[in-house]
A and B are shown apart, each in its own frame.
Chain A
Amino acid sequence: MTPVTPNSSGVLERRRVRVDRGFSRSSPRPQGRSRRRNQKTPWLYLAPALVVLGGLLVYPVYQLGLISFFEYTQAQVSGGEPTTFQGFGNYSELFSDPQFWQVLLATVVFAAACVVSTLAVGCALAVLLTRVRAVPRLALMLAALGAWATPAITGSTVWLFLFDPDFGPVNRLLGLGDHSWTYGRFSAFFLVLLEVVWCSFPFVMVTVYAGIRSVPAEVLEAAALDGASQWRIWRSVLAPMLRPILVVVTIQSVIWDFKVFTQIYVMTNGGGIAGQNLVLNVYAYQKAFASSQYSLGSAIGVVMLLILLAVTLVYLRLLRRQGEEL
């Protein structure tokens, strides 16, 4: 209970108790009956979120797992045949398919390349932004916001047009003649990577820039006066102060880049020539909706889920180590 303030009337005192129903991290938890009463309000506020998330996220995840253990093809979906329990049958079928391992490897390498490039470009440009006056800064900021605002599908088609072997300006500029970027496996992945970096570096740049701006000027000036080089300032002063932000943007990038779908689907025409540019997401989609193997598609989805879950656990441990209070 709150300590009774000497000049408080009864009415005020009662209100005081109501205040306690909140949060205030500093005040001790209310005990006993009042505590049970204020357990209601937060749940009331949480109700809409929990209903939506329960129905459209938790339940579908459960369903995804369920489908992956049963036999689900066109016959079962249209209700013609009863479904049968497969146990890990779908998974063993998946793991014995060499294409699955190839796609898994491609996904991990591609996502890693995207994350590293995005972070490098984003951080470098964030530092550059702090080094220039208002006009160039605004120009770069606006250009970046434009790239960020571009929808995935329009970005994909515009980049295809830029690199088009017949009508695109890039090949003319580089003197490549009618070299096709989407024909070779690596050059197609590289083209998608460029587009992904182009549309996702702005988030990193803006966030890190906001972070650098929140570092007190005195600290930087002191370091500069002590004769630290730019690189040294970045490594020994800014990087440690920015670590929480860097963790956040890294994790967000990992999540987004691991799940890239539209760019691959549109730019490599559904996964490239003979599926050479498939990533897990597109692979699962093709399995489920193109060849009606819903259970195999779901099993691939479960594998993705588990990989991302592992990433989350690493993230949580990092947060814990920083002693962040949830």
Chain B
Amino acid sequence: MNPARLVRRPWRLLAEASALLIAVVVAFPLYWMVLGAFKPAGEIESSEPRPWTLDPSLDSFRRVFEQNEFGRYFVNSLVVACTVVIASALIAFLAATAVTRFRFRFRTTLLIMFLVAQMVPVEALTIPLFFLMRDFGQLNTLGSLILPHIAFSLPFAIWMLRGFVKAVPEAIEEAAYIDGASRSRFLWQILFPLVFPGLVATSVFSFISAWNDFLFAKSFIISDTSQSTLPMALLVFYKPDEPDWGGVMAASTVMTIPVLIFFVLVQRRLVSGLGGAVKD
């Protein structure tokens, strides 16, 4: 549909002008972050900040990467986020198929449980999880970050994928069985590709939650810093009383870029995916 046609012209121009203005305002913090990362040392700590720089430098980035093991933190963060995305997508796909394609006892109970599970304040579970990880010898490992995040992104992922699995017509399934496909073959070769756009949309949420993790890294990675993730590296530069703003902006830029790339890649599917989930 094109509601733009319904709007009279001066109004539309006004709407477009304000849309562009708002876009500039919304994007400004990101611009300021990248700009701050490239400003030379003297310029970033000036009391008359200019919205441009005449002599961009890589000093701040150099400081960030020379900080011990920054590359390692980056890889750790990436390992955590990717493992969480893949594992929770597969597990949620199976679970969503079970609750939409089958009728069985306790199905509704389970669905309500998945909904309630979304409400659990993850941060409040830091205390029992800390003891759990300690008892299983998982403190200071990436596993202590990966496992909880898989669990916490599952309920929302299952809930969101429901709509996508539901949307696949049953006729397709019947046809597959009549043509002699086995259950698992139907699941992985027919249903999985059809639901894939939905999996991409849900993976955005699990990726963000894992990449954003700050509390678990702070609480579970306590003595072995080689297992730390990016937020900890950023905090090295951010001392509340005397922050190294150049370093903070450079580290922030490095930390934001992978997510931006991921978003640009899945942008289309995300918008259509959310549309699919809400049409349900």
Q: Which residues of A contact B (CB under 8 A)?
A: 12, 15, 18-19, 21-25, 29, 38-39, 41-43, 45-46, 48-49, 52-53, 55-57, 59-61, 63-64, 67, 77, 125, 128-133, 136-137, 139-155, 157-162, 164, 166-169, 172, 198, 206-207, 209-211, 213-217, 220-221, 224, 244-245, 248, 255, 258-259, 261-262, 265-266, 269, 281, 284-285, 288-289, 294, 297-298, 300-302, 304-305, 308-309, 311-312, 315-316, 326
Residues of A close to B36: CB separation below 8 A: 161
* CB of B141 closer than 8 Å to a CB of A: no
* CB of B177 closer than 8 Å to a CB of A: yes
Q: Establish whether residues B147 and A161, one from each chain, have CB atoms under 8 Å apart when the complex forms.
A: no
Q: Establish whether residues A57 and B19, one from each chain, have CB atoms under 8 Å apart when the complex forms.
A: no
* CB of B164 closer than 8 Å to a CB of A: no
Q: Establish whether residues A285 and B174, one from each chain, have CB atoms under 8 Å apart when the complex forms.
A: no
Q: Establish whether residues B121 and A281, one from each chain, have CB atoms under 8 Å apart when the complex forms.
A: yes
Task: Closest B residue to A172 by CB, please name it.
Answer: B49
User: In the complex, what distance in Å separates the CA atom of A99 from the CA atom of B183?
Assistant: 58
Please, what's the 1-or-0 string for B45-63, where 1 marks a CB less than 8 Å from any CB in chain A?
1111101000000000000
Residues of A close to B256: CB separation below 8 A: 149-151, 154
Q: Establish whether residues B121 and A143, one from each chain, have CB atoms under 8 Å apart when the complex forms.
A: no
Q: Establish whether residues A262 and B214, one from each chain, have CB atoms under 8 Å apart when the complex forms.
A: yes
Task: Closest A residue to B252 by CB, please name it.
Answer: A154
Q: Establish whether residues B111 and A259, one from each chain, have CB atoms under 8 Å apart when the complex forms.
A: no
Residues of B close to A52: CB separation below 8 A: 91, 147, 150-151, 154
Residues of A close to B103: CB separation below 8 A: 23, 25, 29
User: In the complex, what distance in Å separates the CA atom of A160 from the CA atom of B160?
Assistant: 34
Q: Establish whether residues A146 and B27, one from each chain, have CB atoms under 8 Å apart when the complex forms.
A: yes
B129 to chain A, nearest CB (A): 5
User: In the complex, what distance in Å separates the CA atom of A179 from the CA atom of B23?
Assistant: 27
Cross-chain contact of A157 among B27, B46, B128, B238 (Cβ < 8 A)? B238
Q: Establish whether residues A53 and B117, one from each chain, have CB atoms under 8 Å apart when the complex forms.
A: yes
Q: Establish whether residues A19 and B173, one from each chain, have CB atoms under 8 Å apart when the complex forms.
A: yes
Cross-chain contact of A166 among B26, B47, B128, B259 (Cβ < 8 A)? B47
B25 to chain A, nearest CB (A): 8
Q: Establish whether residues A326 and B111, one from each chain, have CB atoms under 8 Å apart when the complex forms.
A: yes
User: 20 A-B contacts, Cβ less than 8 Å apart?
Assistant: A41-B183, A42-B102, A42-B107, A48-B90, A52-B150, A64-B127, A130-B3, A130-B4, A149-B262, A151-B259, A154-B33, A158-B30, A168-B49, A198-B26, A211-B278, A259-B123, A266-B238, A285-B123, A308-B119, A312-B119
Q: Which residues of B contact A (CB under 8 A)?
A: 1-4, 6-7, 11-12, 15-16, 18-20, 22-24, 26-27, 29-30, 32-33, 36, 44-49, 51, 90-92, 94-95, 97-105, 107-108, 110-112, 115-129, 131-132, 147-148, 150-152, 154-155, 158, 170, 173-174, 177-178, 180, 183, 208, 211-212, 214-215, 219, 231, 234-235, 238, 240, 243, 245, 248-249, 251-252, 255-256, 259-260, 262-264, 267, 270-272, 274-275, 278-279
- A-B interface, 10 closest residue pairs, ranked by CB to CB distance from nearest: A301-B124, A217-B1, A210-B275, A63-B128, A56-B151, A154-B252, A45-B98, A49-B95, A42-B102, A42-B98
Q: Establish whether residues B7 and A220, one from each chain, have CB atoms under 8 Å apart when the complex forms.
A: no
Mostly helix, strand, loop or mixed at chain B's interface? helix
- With A128-B15, A207-B278 in contact, is A155–B170 under 8 Å at CB? no
B125 to chain A, nearest CB (A): 5
How many pairs, one residue from A and one from B, have CB atoms within 8 Å of each other in the complex? 322
B209 to chain A, nearest CB (A): 10
Q: Establish whether residues A221 and B255, one from each chain, have CB atoms under 8 Å apart when the complex forms.
A: no
B247 to chain A, nearest CB (A): 10
- With A139-B20, A198-B29 in contact, is A131–B124 under 8 Å at CB? no
Cross-chain contact of A56 among B100, B102, B147, B231 (Cβ < 8 A)? B147
Q: Establish whether residues A151 and B255, one from each chain, have CB atoms under 8 Å apart when the complex forms.
A: yes
Q: Establish whether residues B151 and A167, one from each chain, have CB atoms under 8 Å apart when the complex forms.
A: no
B181 to chain A, nearest CB (A): 10
Task: Closest B residue to A45 by CB, please name it.
Answer: B98
Residues of B close to A45: CB separation below 8 A: 94-95, 97-98
A145 to chain B, nearest CB (A): 5
Q: Establish whether residues A211 and B102, one from each chain, have CB atoms under 8 Å apart when the complex forms.
A: no
Q: Establish whether residues A157 and B252, one from each chain, have CB atoms under 8 Å apart when the complex forms.
A: yes
Q: Establish whether residues A262 and B2, one from each chain, have CB atoms under 8 Å apart when the complex forms.
A: no
Residues of B close to A224: CB separation below 8 A: 6
Q: Establish whether residues A56 and B124, one from each chain, have CB atoms under 8 Å apart when the complex forms.
A: no
B147 to chain A, nearest CB (A): 6
